[in-house]
Amino acid sequence: MDIQKKVQSLVEKYNTCCPFELAAAMGINVQYEQLGNIYGYYNKVFRIPIIHINESIGEKKQLFTCTHELGHAVYHPDHNTSFLKKHTLFSTDKIEIIANQFALELLSLKEGMQNLTIDEVVQLYGFPKQLVLQKSLGKIF
């Protein structure tokens, strides 16, 4: 599975690296809701794919959440993903790792994160620090 190639393919196909625009182009509804401590989740209701985002979290974390959940829609379209909870985003569960890798790859293109420190990426977006460290060392993708 080459996540970097998949992201590049989607960006080229839909001519955008914005996760909200990609979701719309792919027919995925994005809804903002009060979700308490949950960042968001992805599911399908009557075959309609939906990304649910907590309206109470900051803009950068909403961006991350949309991108992460878009990763689920791309790689696990028929799974209802477990909720993303504050401070517990890094999971050893393979589907969560794939969604996080997808999010990091797409947001690297969109946000130009190359100029940010690892700690800034973790703080601003809510990425798991271990994942950002692996990316910076070239150990993923």
Task: Tell which residue, 104, 94, 96, 101, has the closest CA to residue 124.
Answer: 104
Q: What is the pTM of this model?
A: 0.80
| pLDDT for 30 | 98
pLDDT in tens, 51-99: 999 999 999 889 989 999 999 999 988 876 554 444 445 444 778 888 8
Task: Tell which residue, 29, 135, 77, 28, has the closest CA to residue 125.
Answer: 135
Beta bridge partners of 49: 44
Q: Please state, as a whole number, how many other Cβ atoms lie within 10 Å of the Cβ of residue 47.
A: 6
| pLDDT for 113 | 63
Confidence at 120, pLDDT banded by 50, 70, 90: confident
Identify the helix (H) or strand (E) that includes residue 2.
Answer: none
Is the pLDDT at 38 greater than 60? The verdict is: yes
Non-local CB neighbours of 9 within 8 Å, separated by 6+ positions: none
Q: How far is CA 110 from the centre of its chain?
A: 12
Confidence at 29, pLDDT banded by 50, 70, 90: very high
